[in-house]
Amino acid sequence: MAVALDDLGDADAALQCVRTTTTAARAAECCIGMPRDITGGMADFTDHRDVDKLIGLGPSNHGTSLDGIVFLRKSFPPLGPAVYSTIEALLPAAIQQTIGSELVKETYAGGDTRPGVTYSTLVTQYDEVDTPYTNQFLSGPGVTNVLLQDGCPDYYADHLGINYSERAWRFVLNALDPEHPNPVPCLPDGFLFPGLN
């Protein structure tokens, strides 16, 4: 996993490529697992007028506890700091997305949203990576937060399963074309294994 801020240049280049190829004035971004820190961070670190929709599946918007690993650092010396340091060395972007990180603080210092951009977050309460799952929700104008279990109690997809979830992707299609939304039925999904219940 690359360092989160290093991804901004690549993401901006891809965005400009899409806009040039399609001649679209603005583009929609749909990101899996990446927070608004990166997707919306582009609205902060590039010209947010290039983006009109940001859609996040399982985003770590307001920071993740990494399923509690963040708290090990202070709770269980010397084991906690050793585990934390190992993760930081191997997965620096994971640490950048943790609760209270400099990246999270910088990104949200101006609030969750930017003018002229609509935001959709698709969240599963069974997310074991971006914890607590409620940190994934955004607040502000133009925000739609979807808890995938709402109206579908047999939906058990986790952080990875959401990527393959027909239910989640139907919400993505509605976010991309809000003028023509289609009802999203309850499509139960199993934990870790999409399509299996």
Spatial separation of the C-alpha atoms in residues 54 and 77, rounded to whole Å:
40
Note the pLDDT tens digit of each residue in 29-42: 788 776 554 545 55
Mean pLDDT of 104-112: 88
Query: How many percent of the chain have pLDDT more than 90?
Result: 41
- Mapped onto helix, strand or coil, the DSSP state of residue 143 is strand
Mean pLDDT of 122-139: 95
24-33, 103-112, 149-158: which is most confident: 149-158
pLDDT for 71:
82
**If you ran DSSP here, which 8-state letter would residue 122 be given?**
E
The total of other beta-carbon atoms located within 10 Å of residue 89's CB is 9
Check residues 42 and 57 and name the one with the higher pLDDT: 57
